[in-house]
Amino acid sequence: MTTPDLPPEAYNDEIDLRDLALMLIEGWYWILGTIVVAVVAAFAYLAVTTPSYETRFRAVPAPSANFSGFSLLNGFSISPGEAYRTLGNRLTSYQNFEAFVEQNRDMFVLGEDANLSRVFSGRLSVDGLTADKDGDLVLDLTYRYPEGEQGAEVLNAYVHSTAEEVWSTLRNRFDDYNRAQLARLQTDLELQKESLQSAREDRLFALEQAITVARRLEIEKPTTPQQFGRQPTGSEVIYANISGDGSLPLYFMGYQALEADRDTLRDAIDQGLSNGEIRSTEQQLEQRQRIATLLDSGRLYGIDEGVEPNHTERVVDVVEYAFPPAGPSEPRKALILALSLVLGGMLGVMLVFLARFAGSLKSYRQRQA
């Protein structure tokens, strides 16, 4: 059984590029039409879409000298990294942003029923709260805003306001620590004075006992055991050390000297309570009180005076302030128009193929009929 011969065209499955080119040329009106429709749609989208803009603020941790005023006395200090993270965390707080908007509502372009939570999450993004792979900290704030709003001014003002609050927080923390130390030193001073007074009372009791013994032994003036123990016969009585620490008992001073010592101590037992330890505590207490006074008056050098007047540059080292962009970030007109041309052309080519396929299918049915 032999297979009937088929015409050579039946075995030709190759696509001739010339046929494709001719087909696209013949269907030029489909391609041009879809491109026109796509471009018109792109212009319509751009016309109804409100342009949005984008600006950035960048900063790194400030020099440690900015916080030297917090290290006036031992026990308290603020590191640049601590201040940097405090600012970054405060900037990411919705409550902080809400309070800023309420105080500066006229700076924003917002509807009357605008959802501030959505505005906050949609407009502001903060990066750099953790170190990068190189261990560096770079705070990067991006703010997106609608047309008609001074976004760069808003972002710089928001950072400045937050930095001012952060500095106030650090200052209050230092003030609280200083006042806690004041309370501790005052307690220590009272205990030290009570201890000294108790020691004086113990000394007064010892003097009273020694005076009684000295009078009974009729020791009027200071003497020694050898002199006191010499007997008329020429023999001597050796007295053992009564106190056990190598010193003579007080009564050997004689009741005359002991009574003078007692009277002087009795008159000043609760006056002039001072020794080296007490004087050191009083000096520390005076320093702390001076710091508290300067803090209350807002005149403490290194914290209120002699520092950078711009709170933003106190807390962090500014790399780049926010500035107005040259053009909108969204929508990107050039990109949208380019995409409309590409997509319109692709859709036109598809329509040419579909039209040719529909025509060939119709011819096939007519031949089969």
On whether the pTM is more than 0.75, the answer is no
Q: What is the pLDDT of residue 203?
A: 86
Buried b (16+ CB within 10 A) or exposed e, 321-335: bbeeeeebeeeeeee
Residue 203 has a CB neighbour count (10 Å cut-off) of 15
The contacts of residue 66 (CB under 8 Å, 6+ apart) are: 80, 83, 307, 308, 314, 315
The contacts of residue 155 (CB under 8 Å, 6+ apart) are: 55, 57, 141, 143, 322
Output the CA–CA distances (angstroms, integers) from residue 173 to 71, 153, 168, 180, 339, in the order listed: 13, 30, 8, 11, 56
Q: What is the pLDDT of residue 220?
A: 81
Helix axis angle, 17-26 to 28-48, nearest 10°: 60
- Give the β-pairing of 124-127 and 52-61: unpaired
Alpha carbon distance 156, 137 (integer Å) = 19
The DSSP secondary structure of 53-111, one letter per residue, reads EEEEEEEEEPPGGGGGGGGSSTT----HHHHHHHHHHHHT-HHHHHHHHHHSGGGS---
Q: What is the pLDDT of residue 179?
A: 94
Residues in the chain where the model's pLDDT stays below 50: 1-3, 6, 9-11, 231-244
For the record, the structure tokens of 23 come out as 């087909």
Q: What is the pLDDT of residue 230?
A: 55
Q: What is the pLDDT of residue 226?
A: 67
Asked if 184 contacts 351 with a C-beta cutoff of 8 angstroms, the reply is no
